[in-house]
Amino acid sequence: MCQEGGNSDLRPLNILNESHFIRMEDANNQAGKPFKITNVTREVKKGVVATSLEDLTSKVLEKLNIEGEITVVLEDDGTEIDDEEYFATLDPNTSLMVLTTEQNWLPSAPACRLNSDQVDDGKGGTELAGLVDKIFLEQLKEASGRFLCEKRQAQDAMDLLRLYQEKEAESGGTN
């Protein structure tokens, strides 16, 4: 101890070793991490604290009143969380989406806010119309692409069936 002019300057000495940090980390893991959970429509939002993916899954089934199997994905991009190692890397308050077997992840729709106090003077609104037109055109393009793909698949199936029938007719006539 050092004394200067009768006044002692005493400071506690904190010695932390590596095992202390490990114990603190274990204590944090035992308490769990908070997550923001939503359903596929993003209408229901719940907070859940979980220590593992299994713990999260059981709590989500209970909180959202879901029966059957579920898939947990990142709400932002739909990345599936299917193992404990990846689950352990998630930050606290990560937004997660819960999907049932027949549901698929979709990106959130852009927010479209209209102020009911504004009067339409007939001059503006082109930005919203352009946005709606763009979204509509993208949906129409995607739907027509699916239709054309399904039409091609049906045509290929018909061609294959026709070939099969011709082959059957040939082999039936030779036997």
Could you give the CA distance from residue 90 to residue 85 in angstroms, rounded to a whole number? 9
- Tell me the per-residue pLDDT of 43-56, one tens digit each, with 9 for 90 and over: 999 999 999 999 99
pTM check: above 0.85: no
Scanning the chain, the segments in alpha helix (DSSP H) are 18-31, 53-63, 84-89, 126-174
Q: Dihedral through CA 115, CA 118, CA 122, CA 126, nearest 10?
A: -30
Side-chain-side CA neighbours of 123 within 13 Å: the count stands at: 3
Mode of pairing for the β-strands spanning 45-50 and 33-38: antiparallel
- Tell me the per-residue pLDDT of 81-132, one tens digit each, with 9 for 90 and over: 999 999 999 999 999 999 988 889 988 877 656 555 555 555 555 666 667 7
Record the tokens describing residue 68, joined without a space: 């059957």
